[in-house]
Structure 1
Amino acid sequence: MTSAPISAPAARHPLRRLFRYARPYRRDAALASLYSVLNKVFDVLPEALIGVAVDIVVNQRDSFLARMGVAEPLHQLLLLTGITVLVWLCESTFEYLYALKWRRLAQDLQHELRLAAYSHLQALPPDFVTDARSGRLMAVLNEDVHQIERFLNTGANDLIQVTVSASLIGTVFFLLTADLAALAFLPIPLILVGAFWFQKKLAPRYAAAREAAAAVSDRLNNNLAGIATIKAYTAEAQEFERVRGVSDTYRARNAEAIRFAAAITPVIRMAVLAGFVATLLYGGWKALSGELGIGAYSALVFLTQRLLWPLTRLADMTDLYQRAMASVNRVMDLIDAPLPPLPSGSLPELVRGEVRFADVRLSYDARRVLHGVDLAIPAGHTVALVGPTGGGKSSLLRLLLGFVAPESGRVCVDGVDIAGLDPAHLRRHIGYVAQDPFLTDASIADNIAYGDAEPDRARIARAAELAQAAEFIAALPQGVDSPVGERGSRLSGGQRQRIAIARALYRDPAILVLDEATSAVDNETEAAIQSALRALTGERTTLIVAHRLSTVRHAHAIHVMEAGRIVESGSHDELVARGGTYAALWRLQMGEG
C-alpha cells in the first residue's frame, strides 16, 4: 500500500489555491491592499508637487495655483508647504498601516498553514510519512511555510504598489501630454513580457531547487538521528561526502535559477533607460518650444523615474514570487492529500479484548506480505508471534492498530470488524509498545500519561511500578518530573523501553500489543517485567512479537510465522516436542545447535 506523493502537479494556479485557503483572511488582505494603494497614492504626489513648486517660482501670478484663486506667490508656497506636510504624514501613516497589516497577515497565515498541514499529516496513514520522507515533510512544514510568509511580508505589497504606481503616473502623463506618455510607456510592455518569460523559465527551476532543499533536510535529519552509529563506525568522512553531494545538488539547482533571475535586472534597466531618455529629450524639446510648461516638464521627468525605476525590482519580486508559488504548491499538496475514509463505529462499552484475524491478506507495493492468515485470540490470553524477520508478524500488529487495511479478510475485536470503527476509539482500547519507542521531549510523568489531558499521579506511579521503572525513576533528581530530553536522549535504551511499557499500562487497555518490547532491557529487568505482565494476563489480551523465545515461553499460544503464513501453532512445550521450526529456533537460542 502506498500513499500519494505530496509533489503531484496542482490543477489550479498556486496563487488561487492560496487565496482559496485564506478565505477567512480576505478582509485583512483587502485592508492591507487598500493601505498599500493609499500609501502609493501619497508617495507619488511629492513628484507632482515638485512640478507645482517650479511652476510657482517660474510663473508666479500665472501659475496653476494662481489660476485656482491663490494669487500671491508667497501664499502659494505656504499652501504648497502645508499640502506637502499633509501628503508626507498620510504617506507615512499608510506605510505603517500596510506594514502592520501585511506582516500580521503573514504571521497569522503561516501559523494556520503550518498547523493545518501538521494536523492533516497526523490524519494520514503512518506509511505516508515513510513514503514522503520525514526530511522532505520537515522542509514543507518549515522552509516552505516561511517562504510564503516572506512573500506576504513584502512581495504582495511590492506587486500592488508597482501596479498602482504605473496606473497613477500613466493617468498624469496622458492628461498632460499623450504623445510623451506613449514614449514613456513604450518600454513597459517589453519589460512585462520579459519578466513573464523569465518567470515561466524560473518556475520549474525553483521547484527543482525546493526538491533539492528537501533532500538536504532529509539527509541531515537522518545523519543527526544516527550520529552515534556514524561515529562508532568512523563513517564521518563517508557521511560528509553524502551531505556534500546533496548540498552540491541544491547549490547547482539554485545556481541555475539564479542565472535566470540575475539576468532580469540588467534587461529591465536598459528598457528603463530608453523610457527615461525619451521623456528627457522629447519632453525637453516640447518645453523649449512652449508646448509643455516647465513645471509640467519637471514633474514628468521625476514621474518617469518613479514610473520606470521600481520596475527594476521586478527581478527580486519575480524571484520571491516564484519561490513562494513553488512553496504554496508543496504546502497545499500536503494539505490536499486525500484522507482515508474515517468510520464512526464504536465497540461495546465493556471491551473484553477478543481478537480475530480472518483470512487476512496484505501487500506492500504489489509484494504480498500476508497470505490468508487466520488467527483467533481469546479475551485475556497471551499470544506470541515468532519467526524470522519479514515473516509478517509486525504487519499483523499494524492491521490490528488500524495503521493499514487488509486487501481482503477481516480483523475483528469482540466480533466487530475494525474496518467500521473510528480508529481513535479503537486505539484507546489498545496499549502499544514498539521496539524503538517514541518519547516526547517532556517529563517522565508526561510520557507515561501520554495522551491523557488530566494525568493521574497515582496511576502514573502504579504503571511505573508494573513496568519495573519505579526504582530508576526514584533515583533521578526530579523523580517522575525529570525531563527525558529529545526522543528520550537522557535515558538509556532499557529505561526508555520501560517508560514505554509503563505508558501502555497506564492506559489500562483491554488489548496490550508488544513489538519486541523487552529487547532493550537486561535479563533481570525482563524477567521482572514478564512476571508483572503474567500477573495481568487474566485482565487483558496480550499480543507479543518477539525474537527471544525465552520471553514468550509462558504464552498461552505461540504462532510461528514464515513468509506471511502461520506455519506452526501451540504452547512452548508442544512446539518443542513437535521438533519443527520453533524447536529448531529454540535449540539454536539455547546453544544446542
Structure 2
Amino acid sequence: MSSSSSFQALGRLLRYARGYRGRIIAATCCSILNKLFDIAPEILIGIAIDVVVNQEQSFVAKLGFVEAREQILVLGVLTFLIWAGESLFEYLYQILWRNLAQRLQSDLRQDAYEHVQRLDMGFFESKSSGQLVSIMNDDVNQLERFLDGGANSLIQVFVTVVAVGAVFMVLSPQIALLAFTPIPIIIWGAFYFQRKAGPVYAEVREKVGELAGRLSNNLGGIATIKSFTAEAREAERLRQSSEAYVEANRKAIRISSAFIPIIRMAILVGFLATFILGGLKTLDGSLNVGAYGVLVFLTQRLLWPLTGLAQVIDLFERAMASTRRILDLLTTPVQVQDGGEGLTAPVKGEVRFEGLSFHYPSSGVGVNDIELTVAAGSTLALVGATGSGKSTLVKLLLRFYQPEQGDIYLDGKSLARLDMQQLRQNIGLVSQDVFLFEGSIRDNIAYGRPEASEEEMVAAARVAEAWEFIERLPQGLDTPVGERGVRLSGGQRQRLSLARALLKDPPVLILDEATSAVDNETEAAIQRSLRKIAHGRTVIMIAHRLSTIVHADSIVVVDQGRIAEQGRHAELLARNGLYAAQWRVQTGEIAPAPERVFA
C-alpha cells in the first residue's frame, strides 16, 4: 500500500467528517497553540541566561526593564502565563480530540450498520458476520485510537518544525542549516516506513477479520462442535488463525522497531552541529550566550520528539488501513433500491409473478420465467425438491434480491416502485430457521409491533398455541429466551415466531417450511393455528410434508427453477405427475427416486 493510498484514505475520512469541520479546526488550533506555548519556556531560559550575563545590556533591558531584578520578575510572570496557557490549551485539545474521536467512531459504526442493513442478501453471502463485526468494531476503534492521540502528535510535530525553524533562522541561519540537516532524512525515513508498513497493516486488519470470523462461527456452533467431539480440532484451527494474526503483527513490529534507532542517529548529527558550532561562535563572540542557550534547548525540543514519529505513523497507518475498510463498506452499492411509493390501504394481498427470473451469482441456480398469480385471501403451497427455487421466490417477494428479469406485483403495484419498509410491514415471515433475539418472550413477540398492548400479545400467543407453555413459565412473558432462543425448545421457538408474525397482522403471510423441524404435536398445533389465521389473509406456504397442504387453494410444484405443475391436491393426484409420485412416496406406496424428493 503506497503512502498516497493512505493520504487518499485520510481525504475520504475528512470528506466523511465534513460535518465536524468546526470541531476539527478548533481542536487543531488548540494543538497548535499548546505547542507554541510548549516551545516558549526554552526561549525564556535563553533570555534568562542573557539577563544574568549581560544584566543592563540584555535583550529585556532594551524593552524598558533596566534593572536585572526587574527583568527576572518580568520573566517569572511570563513563565507563569506561558505555563498556564500551555496547560489550558492541552486541556482543550484533549477534550476536543477525544470527544471528536468518540463522536466520529460512534457515527461511523452507526452509519456502517445502517448501510449494511440496506444491502441485499447477496452481500452477506460473500462476507462473514465475523468480518463485518471486525470492521464495525475493531476497525472503528483503531481509528478512534489515532484520533485520541496520533492526530495531535502529527500536528504538533509540524508546528514544532516550523516554529523552531523560524527562531533558528532569526538567531543564526548557519546553525539552522546544520541543525535542520537531519530533518529531510527523518521525513524520508518516515515515508519509507509508511510505504513498507502500509501493506503489512492492511494484512493485519484482514487477519483480525478472519480471526473474529472464526471465533464468531465457533461460538455460534458450539453445540455441533461438542456433539462431534471436535473441540481439539477447532482449537487448533483457531490457533492457526491466531498465529497468522501474530505473524502479520510481527512483520509490522519489525518494520516499526527499525525506524527509531535510525532516526536517533540522524538526530544526534543535528544536535552535535548546534552544540559544537554554536559553542564555538559563542566563544568567539559572534553569538550571544543567551541565544546559544536557546539554540541548544530548541534543538532538543525540535529533534527528540521526532523519535516518536514512528509510533505516530504506526498509529496513522493502522488507522488508515481501518478507514479504508470502513469507508469501503459504507460505499458498497445498494443493489435493491427503495421505490418510495406507498401501498393503497387496505392492502388486499394479491401477489403476481410475471416473467420472473433470477440466479444466485455464486451457484447459478435460481428461477426461470415464473408466471404465477396468488389471489387475495387465498392459500398457495409451493413444493419441490431442495434447490428447486421455492425459497428464492419468497426472498424475491421480500425484495432480499433484485430480479434479473420480470417483476412481482402486490395489489397490482410493482414491488420495485414500492416503499420497501411499507412492503415488508405488510408481509409476515415464519421461517424454518427461527431467529429469536436475546431478551424476553415479550420482546420477541412484540418485535414487529413494539407498541402492542399485553392483551394483543397474549391474543397472538393464544392463536399461535404458544400461550399454554408461556403461562407455565415462572416469569411468563418476561422469561428470558437466551441468545438465539437457546433456553426454549425448537417447537416453542417456532410457536413464538408464529405469534410474532400474527401480532404484526400482515395481509400476506409466508410460511417457509415452518413445520419441518418440529414434532408432531407442535405441527398439529401450528396447523390448527393456520386454519384460524388463513381466513381473509393471503398465505404462501413452502412445505415438504404434503399432508400439511392438502387444503391449499392452489399447489405449485417447482422443479429446477420452473413451474412444473399447478392445481389443487385432487387435481394433481389425478394428473399422476411429480406431485402424485411424491404423495405416494410420503404415504408409503412407493420408494422415492432420489432426484425427486421434495424438501
Letter in 2 for 1:407: E
* Alpha-carbon separation, structure 2, partners of 1:11 and 1:407: 38
* Alpha-carbon separation, structure 2, partners of 1:89 and 1:10: 40
Secondary structure in structure 1 of the residue aligned to 2:502: helix
Equivalent position of 1:359 in the other structure: 355
Deviation of 1:489 (Å): 2.4
Q: Aligned pair 1:344/2:337, yes or no?
A: no
Equivalent position of 1:494 in the other structure: 491
Deviation of 1:132 (Å): 2.2
Q: Aligned pair 1:155/2:134, yes or no?
A: no
* Alpha-carbon separation, structure 2, partners of 1:518 and 1:109: 46
Equivalent position of 1:412 in the other structure: 409
Deviation of 1:99 (Å): 0.4
Q: Deviations over 1:328-371 (max 9, x none)?
A: 11111111222233212232212221212222111111714112
* TM-score (norm: length of structure 2): 0.94
* Alpha-carbon separation, structure 2, partners of 1:126 and 1:465: 33
* Aligned Cα root-mean-square deviation (Å): 1.8
* Alpha-carbon separation, structure 2, partners of 1:486 and 1:21: 35
Secondary structure in structure 1 of the residue aligned to 2:432: coil
Secondary structure in structure 1 of the residue aligned to 2:349: coil
After TM superposition, list the pairs within 5 Å mapping 1:136-215 onto structure 2.
Answer: 136-215=131-210
Deviation of 1:423 (Å): 1.5
Equivalent position of 2:95 in the other structure: 100
Correspondent of 2:585 among 561, 583, 588 = 588
In structure 2, the gaps of 5 or more residues are 592-599
Correspondent of 1:55 among 50, 53, 58 = 50
Secondary structure in structure 1 of the residue aligned to 2:60: helix
Deviation of 1:12 (Å): 8.0
Correspondent of 1:461 among 449, 458, 463 = 458
After TM superposition, list the pairs within 5 Å mapping 1:276-315 onto structure 2.
Answer: 276-315=271-310
* Alpha-carbon separation, structure 1, partners of 2:516 and 2:510: 14
Letter in 1 for 2:241: V
Structure 1 stretch 124-133 or stretch 572-581: which is displaced more? 572-581
Letter in 2 for 1:581: L
Confirm or deny: 8 A CA contact 2:365 2:387 kept in the other structure.
Answer: no
Secondary structure in structure 2 of the residue aligned to 1:376: strand
Correspondent of 2:315 among 312, 315, 320 = 320
Structure 1 stretch 576-585 or stretch 470-479: which is displaced more? 576-585
Equivalent position of 2:86 in the other structure: 91
* Alpha-carbon separation, structure 2, partners of 1:553 and 1:313: 76
Q: Aligned pair 1:389/2:386, yes or no?
A: yes
Equivalent position of 1:252 in the other structure: 247
Correspondent of 1:238 among 227, 233, 241 = 233
Correspondent of 2:77 among 78, 82, 95 = 82
Q: Aligned pair 1:524/2:555, yes or no?
A: no
Confirm or deny: 8 A CA contact 2:41 2:82 kept in the other structure.
Answer: yes
Letter in 2 for 1:251: V
Give identity over the alignment, percent: 53
Letter in 2 for 1:190: I
In structure 1, the gaps of 5 or more residues are 1-8
Equivalent position of 1:17 in the other structure: 12
Letter in 1 for 2:525: A
Equivalent position of 1:399 in the other structure: 396
* Alpha-carbon separation, structure 2, partners of 1:211 and 1:473: 45
Secondary structure in structure 1 of the residue aligned to 2:366: strand
Letter in 1 for 2:224: T
* Alpha-carbon separation, structure 1, partners of 2:345 and 2:511: 24
Deviation of 1:89 (Å): 1.0
Letter in 1 for 2:472: A
Deviation of 1:453 (Å): 4.4
Relative distance call for 1:151 and 1:263 in structure 2 (3 A) is same
Deviation of 1:59 (Å): 2.1
Deviation of 1:413 (Å): 1.7
* Alpha-carbon separation, structure 2, partners of 1:551 and 1:79: 96
Q: Deviations over 1:52-106 (max 9, x none)?
A: 2222222222222223222222222222112111111111111111100110111
Equivalent position of 2:481 in the other structure: 484
Equivalent position of 1:6 in the other structure: none
* Alpha-carbon separation, structure 2, partners of 1:477 and 1:261: 59
Confirm or deny: 8 A CA contact 1:10 1:329 kept in the other structure.
Answer: no
Secondary structure in structure 2 of the residue aligned to 1:135: helix
* Alpha-carbon separation, structure 2, partners of 1:587 and 1:316: 73
Letter in 1 for 2:158: T
Deviation of 1:391 (Å): 0.6
Q: Aligned pair 1:275/2:283, yes or no?
A: no
Deviation of 1:213 (Å): 0.9
* Alpha-carbon separation, structure 1, partners of 2:384 and 2:334: 34
* TM-score (norm: length of structure 1): 0.95
Deviation of 1:464 (Å): 0.6
